[in-house]
């Protein structure tokens, strides 16, 4: 990732920098703009909302507490995101946790009546894959030894045939793959329901096995791959703003509250300009859309719809997810880490008052929880969702949240619904993911749904933006982008 970043700085400086309109200030858009500015071009980022970050956006409530679109975890296996923190000089903002994966054991309690957890601890002194194997072998609470061996045997083709096999497994759901490989159902129930919900907010009955194998590959091949970090505060201020500042300092521009309403074309189907919701026009030499795939599909000009590259987008749809914040009047847990809930309604959660320096509170807890799968809940009221969540939490924290009212009290809550979030990675989706270079000479795509090897994640989004920036910078050098006339080359609002 460092070498790839360096290529932007080492490229010959353009004799005439391109004005590039980058649609969206999520991680893909900001990453694309950052690297375009490193290559000597002038990005203009157009963001529809008044907050940076897209799916990592966050804002404050009337008490000054932060509400986040999603509980976000950074992994050791995110080379481009980690490199971004280094390049921006903000590495200290990543708060790395112990190298462990911690699963709740719903319904099970410690001798003194508290919530029990089961841990996979990766020994620091061992390299990959040994650290992962030891972590799996030493945990005997969730899987029996024969179950682990059967799962290990199931993985042999992935080890022998590598990436080709991983890609072929996109035709199978996780559950289908487990059956085909003779892995006992209990392995799915104990581990992979939680994994599938954490990876894509859906169940293993729907999730593509490629997603799980891709994650396992990274986790088992890289010594720190599964190590997790929390950002030390809200992503828009702690990560997105420094990305924006970087490109602004190099001649880029950021325009907030700028929603594009349509893409206008020249006769040759290249982009002539962007029509904004306020009626104004934005023109540039080149355009990068980082809008989520569902928005992009609606925005596609009629003339592009029959082009196979764009037609394929119909195979991708965002998955619903709900992020919940619960503030309690006392501490519920002392675990400073991400927790896999293993409950039917919830995915992962964390006590952000412990895990995140910016949200620290020594007396109270703020649980952030991902509610998934959310298909049947996304249309329900916040009150219904909180009631259901509390029902699950009574099982997770039987002692701390006594139903008779003697335990911790819920002070307030916030529910953030994202009806169409990252693309739903059901079996067979890989063939629909578009590469960043489109058939339209002055139009590029980025976003976590576009083709790259890091799934629909912050790493995938950041890397896709970098790939789009590289493709554009290369095209600028090759002279294949039709330049606007000099006088109209500046992006004009």
Distance CA 320, CA 169 (A): 24
Query: Applying CB under 6 A, does 313 fall inside the site for ligand FAD?
Result: no
Close Cβ partners of 133 (under 8 Å, ≥ 6 residues apart) = none
Among 18, 22, 39, 56, binds ligand FAD (CB under 6 A): 56
Among 254, 321, 326, 481, binds ligand FAD (CB under 6 A): 321
Cis geometry, peptide bond prior to residue 424 (ω within 30 degrees of 0): no
CB of 23 to ligand FAD, least distance (A): 5
Among 17, 40, 54, 234, binds ligand FAD (CB under 6 A): 54
Query: Applying CB under 6 A, does 214 fall inside the site for ligand FAD?
Result: no
Long-range interactions of 183-191: CB distance < 8 A, separation 24+: 183/147, 183/150, 183/151, 183/154, 184/147, 184/150, 186/143, 186/147, 187/143, 187/147, 187/150, 187/151, 190/142, 190/143, 190/342, 191/103, 191/142, 191/143
Close Cβ partners of 71 (under 8 Å, ≥ 6 residues apart) = 323, 338, 348, 349, 350, 352, 368, 369, 370
Query: Applying CB under 6 A, does 43 fall inside the site for ligand FAD?
Result: no
Region from 64-72, 210-218, 239-247, 382-390 binding ligand FAD, contact rule CB under 6 A: 64-72
- Per-residue string for binding with ligand FAD, 447-476, x by CB under 6 A? xx-------xxxxxx---------------
- Which residues share a beta bridge with 96? 229
Among 5, 37, 42, 69, binds ligand FAD (CB under 6 A): 69
Query: Applying CB under 6 A, does 292 fall inside the site for ligand FAD?
Result: yes
Query: Applying CB under 6 A, does 273 fall inside the site for ligand FAD?
Result: no
The residue (of 41 and 197) whose beta carbon lies closer to ligand FAD is 197
Query: Applying CB under 6 A, does 37 fall inside the site for ligand FAD?
Result: no
Among 19, 41, 55, 325, binds ligand FAD (CB under 6 A): 55
3-state helix, strand, coil in the chain (%, to 5): 40, 20, 40
Distance CA 225, CA 93 (A): 18
Distance CA 175, CA 208 (A): 9
CB of 330 to ligand FAD, least distance (A): 26
Question: Is the distance from CB of 345 to CB of 364 less than 8 angstroms?
Answer: no
Among 46, 77, 196, 263, binds ligand FAD (CB under 6 A): 46
The residue (of 151 and 423) whose beta carbon lies closer to ligand FAD is 423
Residue 315 DSSP one-character state: G
Region from 44-52, 109-117, 304-312, 354-362 binding ligand FAD, contact rule CB under 6 A: 44-52
CB of 338 to ligand FAD, least distance (A): 8
Helices (H) and strands (E) in the chain, counts: 17, 20
* Footprint of ligand FAD (CB under 6 A): 23-29, 46-49, 54-56, 69-73, 259-260, 290-292, 295, 321, 323, 370, 418, 421-422, 447-448, 456-461
């Amino acid at each position: 990732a460092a070498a790839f970043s360096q290529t932007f700085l080492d490229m010959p400086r353009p004799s005439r920098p391109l004005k590039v309109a980058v649609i969206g200030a999520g991680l893909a858009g900001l990453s694309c703009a950052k690297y375009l500015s490193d290559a000597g071009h002038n990005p203009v980022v157009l963001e529809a909302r008044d907050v940076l970050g897209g799916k990592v956006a966050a804002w404050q409530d009337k008490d000054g507490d932060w509400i986040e679109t999603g509980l976000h975890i950074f992994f050791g296996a995110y080379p481009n995101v980690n490199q971004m923190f280094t390049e921006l000089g903000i590495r200290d903002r990543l708060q790395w946790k112990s190298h462990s994966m911690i699963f709740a054991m719903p319904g099970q309690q410690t001798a003194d009546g508290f919530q029990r957890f089961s841990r996979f601890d990766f020994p620091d002194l061992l390299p990959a894959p040994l650290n992962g194997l030891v972590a799996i072998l030493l945990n005997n609470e969730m899987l029996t030894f024969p179950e682990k061996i059967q799962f290990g045997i199931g993985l042999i083709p992935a080890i022998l045939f590598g990436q080709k096999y991983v890609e072929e497994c996109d035709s199978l759901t996780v559950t289908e793959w487990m059956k085909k490989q003779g892995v006992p159902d209990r392995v799915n129930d104990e581990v992979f329901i939680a994994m599938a919900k954490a990876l894509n907010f859906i169940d293993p009955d729907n999730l593509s096995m490629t997603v799980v194998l891709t994650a396992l590959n990274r986790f088992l091949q890289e010594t720190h791959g599964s190590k997790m970090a929390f950002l030390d505060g809200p992503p828009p201020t702690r990560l997105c703003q420094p990305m924006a500042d970087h490109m602004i300092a190099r001649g880029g521009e950021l325009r907030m509250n700028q929603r594009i309403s349509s893409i206008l074309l020249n006769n040759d189907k290249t982009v002539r300009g962007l029509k904004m919701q306020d009626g104004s026009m934005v023109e540039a030499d080149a355009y990068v859309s980082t809008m989520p795939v569902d928005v992009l599909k609606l925005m596609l000009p009629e003339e592009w719809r029959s082009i196979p590259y764009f037609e394929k987008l119909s195979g991708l749809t965002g998955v619903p997810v709900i992020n919940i914040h619960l503030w309690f009047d006392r501490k519920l847990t002392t675990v400073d880490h991400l927790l896999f809930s293993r409950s039917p309604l919830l995915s992962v959660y964390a006590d952000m008052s412990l895990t995140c320096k910016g949200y620290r509170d020594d007396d109270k807890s703020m649980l952030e929880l991902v509610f998934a799968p959310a298909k049947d809940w996304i249309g329900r009221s916040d009150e219904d969702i909180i009631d259901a969540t509390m029902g699950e939490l009574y099982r997770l924290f039987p002692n701390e949240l006594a139903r008779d009212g003697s335990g911790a009290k819920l002070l307030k809550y916030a529910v953030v619904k994202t009806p169409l979030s990252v693309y739903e990675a059901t079996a067979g989706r890989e063939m629909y993911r578009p590469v960043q270079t489109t058939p339209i000479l002055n139009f590029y795509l980025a976003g976590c749904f576009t083709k790259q090897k890091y799934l629909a994640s912050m790493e995938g989004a950041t890397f896709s933006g970098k790939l789009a920036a590289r493709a554009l910078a290369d095209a600028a050098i090759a002279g294949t982008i039709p330049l606007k006339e000099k006088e109209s080359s500046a992006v004009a609002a």
